[in-house]
Structures are given as structure tokens and as C-alpha cells.
Structure 1
Amino acid sequence: MSDVPAAYQASKGSILDVDRDFYNSLTEGKAERTLVTIHTVPLRDGLAWEVPAGHVFRIKITEGSQVGDFNMWNLHNPRERMWASRTRQLQRAHVSTYDRLWSTLPYLRPMATIIDDTLADYGVDAQGGRVHDLLGTRCDPYVNRMLTGEDFDHHCHSNLVRAVEPWGLTEFDIHDVLNIFQCTGLNDDDKYFMKACPARKGDYLEFFAETDLLCAMSCCPGGDLSIDLWGPDARDPLETCNPLDVEIYRIDAELLIGWESPSVAAYAGRHGRKAPTTDWAAIKREHCC
């Protein structure tokens, strides 16, 4: 591995300098938490749900290994949505505890912070695989048609499209995903690979909602990815598919004293223009909550 320092580094007191004690205090066994609801994402299907700011949501393996493709938007302004590529730069390509999921420009703020991960100790395996990846993106029917000549309507992209339609969102709102529980890396040819999911029943990834969120997830039709989806050894991996649960918790108000949702990026939005026609700073403030 390279010992070259990261390009984006946290300075003390910056928004990248995470208050670990605060987030540790919100985890199970340390915080007064009330289970608000449980959602089940059916196998080979998608689901969307809302999470109020200051709540915790947990994505959990309930039956067998399964990969989930995750999207996220500001509940009140879907133009602000999770930005996978900037999160890779500011955090890492495979995220875990204390990493944050960042929003798109011109907002650029943490939307959620990972506070607990039962796979945090997985590390790097012998093939260079790691879990919870931002390297790749969702499977989709367009690539599948290109590779196989066949149509399949329950790829993650399509599952997410169906999931968000009740909120007035469309296919154009679906974006690059966080692949939860997925084990991936880059091979010696610098090409993306996927391995069998190491998560087992009871494993979970847990987030603290920094803003009011609309979340969506697809239970990948590839299941645990132990069976090839494309290529000479490809076959239907239905036998490896399982549902996933989403648990939402309300945190005791006293634990949140002093916490507030992050502000949108302070940049005024002039972009070198002397007299911008649009007051982007005012628009961002209007949609910040």
C-alpha cells in the first residue's frame, strides 16, 4: 500500500474533524434510544423511507447475506443529494464508523454520519477487498441489456426508481450509490471487482441523520454476489437473495443538546462573476432545513 498522504485532510476544528465522543454516545448501549419503526426492503426490490434530523437509522442483515444499494436526498430539496465521488475524496472509498456522507454542490455538507459498523474490523482481505463501497455504482438494466441482450426490470437502478416515485422523484434523481455490505476493490489491472458479501445475520451499518432525509435502498438482485452476474459463469443468483431491514431510532433529547444540523457551504456562489443573476446563497439558506 502507498504511504502517500491523503489529498483532503482534516484540520483541527474543521467540519472534517469529527467529534467521536458525541457519535459514540449515540450508539446502542450508550444512549437512551426509542425504536420508532422497522421497514423491510423485500428481496430483489426497493424501498424509500424518511428519517428526521437527529434520528438514527440502522440497515441490518436479518436473514442471510445481502448487498444493499443506497441513495439519499434532503427530504425538502431533492436537488441536494448524496455525492458519492466527493465522499470518496473527503472520507474514503470504503466507508465505516465516523465517516460522513456528503451532499452535492452548491450545498456540500454532511447529510449523515456513520456511528456504528459491525464489519468495521473486516479491514482489507487477501485480495484487497473491503466493505461498504463507494467505488462502483448500482447495477442497471441498460448495462445488463448491453452485456446480455436481455431486459431485466429489477436491477438496483430500477428498484430505486420505483421506490422514490411516491415522493415525486424520477429516474433522473437516482444517483451513484453507497454499496452497503458489498465487498469490492481494484485488481492488478486496476479494474473493479466484487466478492461474496461477508455480512451475516445480525450485522448492521448505522447512521446518524444530520439533516431531514429521504433514503432509498435496493436489495441487489445479485444477492450476496457469490454468483457471477455476467460472464461465462453467470447464472441467476436468486438463491442468494435476502431482504434487509431498516430500523429508525429516536434519540433522547438531552443527548442532542448543543448539536445542530450542519449549515450549507458558506461559499457565496459568484464563480468569478461581478453581478450574478441568481442569489445562490439565499436559495441554499431557504432550503437548508
Structure 2
Amino acid sequence: MPHSPPPDADARRAVAPVICYPDDTLPRPDLALYARFRAAAWKTDEVIVPPREGRAFRVPVCGFFRITCVEGPQVGDLNLWNAENLSERFYSGKTRALHGTHLSTGDRLWSCFPWLRPMATITEDTLDWYGFDAFGGGVHDVIGTRCDPYTHYLLSGGEMYHHCCHSNLTRAIAAETGEDVRAAEFRVHDVMNVFMCTGFTRDTGQYFMKASPVRPGDFTEFFAEIPLLGALSACPGGDCSATHSSDEAACFPLLVEVFATPAEALGDWASPPVNGYDRSHGA
């Protein structure tokens, strides 16, 4: 049974919050510089991610990649790795702690320990106008994990479904690396939910999704701070207005385009160094 509130319950609730990770000293991306790089870049590749499937792609260091909605409202689950060291991968939890629950232009996707450095920077986002709606929903979250067959199995009573984003990403990275899917699965990690509109309910604190505001022609573009291997799943929930992990929702492909920046345009730019902590951990 719930306990009765203490006499000072209101006073305890009224304590002002403190930001856990003040970002005043966080290095800021030079978006004007990146815009100059982008103006000099040329397209080198494109990948169509079919509905309810995943595909991998590679982006050269100081290149760009753009994820575009091409046919109908569709969300995508994004994984990133250092193309030269797959142990260094996107860390959604620390990205969330540094930038907030939802990402947009100027925010960065950070890598895991012990590297903890920017992997990619969002340089353009056609949905940056959305902000937060009256329900507390925002676009491009780093709070959801990815739909997966394990949770689906747990909640559905045993029904098998193999086109959850976790499985789509697993097949995509397995195909790219040549690994068995059971080995490749361990490389899949929590995602950036591109185009997905999500938040937390105010009464119960539950993670919610609602119809994505994305429309054909909308895109999000990223600058590759390091050489990247990416994988994107076109979520089986479509725009995630009602369900995910099923064949019921209307689903559409997503387009990934890759652009390379010529070396002569870079000047003295260099990739961010790995984190400077000495890893001694007080031992």
C-alpha cells in the first residue's frame, strides 16, 4: 500500500532542481565551419532502407550523412560505431545527460567509455521547429531503447516477431561485418530515434510515442567527427502513432545519403581526441 505523505511533503517536493551536467564548458561545434565543409562536399553513396528492415552505411571522417523521409511518415532507429574500432560506439545515455532527451541542430552524438568524444554532430534538422508539444513530446529522442523481439516476446505471450529494430540492426551489421547474427547482436546498442515523437506521461512517468510530424522531404543531417559505420532500421511502427513491432502499421522506406568533404577544404581541422581521463580509477 502507498504510504501517507509526511507533514513536510510539499516542502520536499518544492526543492528546486539542479542540472546534473552543466554544459557551460562543453566544447561547442563550429557550425559555420561545418557549413563550409558541407558546401564543398559531394555525394558519394546512398542507401535505401526498406520498410521493416535495416541497412548499414559508411561515412568518411569529416563527411556528412543525411537521413530523409521519402514516401510517408516513418521513424528510424540509428546506431553508430567508429568504423576503425567497433568497440567505440554511440552512447545514448551520456548523450541524453549532456544534451537532453531530444536532439536537434548543434547537438552531438557521443561515444561510449573510455573514449567519450563526439562521433557526429547534427548540422541541419528540418523538424527543429517542433520543440516540445503540450503533451511533453519532442522529436529525435535518445530515451527509447529500440523495439526488440525479447520485450515483444515478454509482452505478447510468446508470439515471434523478427522485424523489430533490434533484429533489423542486428541483420544489417552482421551483413556488413560478415559476423554471425548471434555475435553481431552484441554490437547493437541503444539508439537515436530519428523522427520519432516521444516523451514521458506527466501522471505515471511512462515512455510514450505519438504520430511523428515528419513528412516526405524532411531530413536530419550529421557531420562525421570520426570515420563512421552506421546502421539504420525503418521501424515496423511506421510513424509510431499506434503500435510498433508488428506488420499492422503503414511503413515506408528511409533514404541515407553520404557526402565526402575534400581534404583541401579542411585546413587544420582534426577529429576530436579521445577522452583524457587516465583510466587509473584510483587504483
5+ residue gaps, structure 2, are: 1-14
Within 5 Å, give how 1:120-269 maps onto structure 2: 120-149=128-157, 150-166=159-175, 167=177, 168=179, 170-188=184-202, 189-229=204-244, 236-238=247-249, 240-269=250-279
Contact 2:238-2:244 within 8 A present in 1 as well: no
Find 1:19's aligned residue among 24, 27, 30: 30
Kindly tell me: are residues 9 and 18 of structure 1, through their superposed partners in 2, closer, same or farther at Cα, counting changes over 3 Å?
farther
Distance in 2, Cα, partners of 1:118 & 1:26 = 19
Deviations 1:5-43 (A, max 9, x none): 6332334xx55323232234345xxx1221111110011
Contact 1:10-1:17 within 8 A present in 2 as well: no
Q: CA deviation at 1:236?
A: 4.1
Percent of residue pairs identical: 48
| Counterpart AA for 2:19 | A
Distance in 2, Cα, partners of 1:241 & 1:38 = 20
| Counterpart AA for 1:133 | D
Contact 2:73-2:216 within 8 A present in 1 as well: yes
Q: Which residue in 2 is equivalent to 1:86?
A: 94
Distance in 2, Cα, partners of 1:237 & 1:97 = 33
Contact 2:198-2:207 within 8 A present in 1 as well: yes
Within 5 Å, give how 1:5-154 maps onto structure 2: 6-11=19-24, 14-27=25-38, 31-149=39-157, 150-154=159-163
Distance in 2, Cα, partners of 1:38 & 1:164 = 17
- TM-score, normalised to structure 2, is 0.88
Q: Residue 90 of structure 1 aligns to a residue in which SS?
A: helix
| Counterpart AA for 2:94 | R
Kindly tell me: are residues 162 and 130 of structure 1, through their superposed partners in 2, closer, same or farther at Cα, counting changes over 3 Å?
same
Larger displacement relative to structure 2 (109-118 or 248-257): 248-257
Kindly tell me: are residues 178 and 55 of structure 1, through their superposed partners in 2, closer, same or farther at Cα, counting changes over 3 Å?
same
Q: Residue 132 of structure 1 aligns to a residue in which SS?
A: strand
| Counterpart AA for 1:176 | D
Q: Residue 271 of structure 2 aligns to a residue in which SS?
A: coil
4+ aligned runs moved over 4 Å, structure 1: 2-5
Contact 2:104-2:128 within 8 A present in 1 as well: yes
Q: Residue 169 of structure 2 aligns to a residue in which SS?
A: helix
Q: CA deviation at 1:76?
A: 1.4
Q: Residue 226 of structure 2 aligns to a residue in which SS?
A: coil
5+ residue gaps, structure 1, are: 274-289
Deviations 1:181-233 (A, max 9, x none): 00000112111000011100000010000001110011001111122348xxx
Q: Residue 125 of structure 1 aligns to a residue in which SS?
A: coil
Q: Residue 162 of structure 1 aligns to a residue in which SS?
A: helix
Distance in 1, Cα, partners of 2:16 & 2:256 = 37
Contact 1:72-1:81 within 8 A present in 2 as well: yes
- TM-score, normalised to structure 1, is 0.86
CA RMSD of aligned residues (A): 1.8
Distance in 2, Cα, partners of 1:266 & 1:63 = 44
Kindly tell me: are residues 3 and 196 of structure 1, through their superposed partners in 2, closer, same or farther at Cα, counting changes over 3 Å?
farther
Distance in 2, Cα, partners of 1:209 & 1:79 = 17
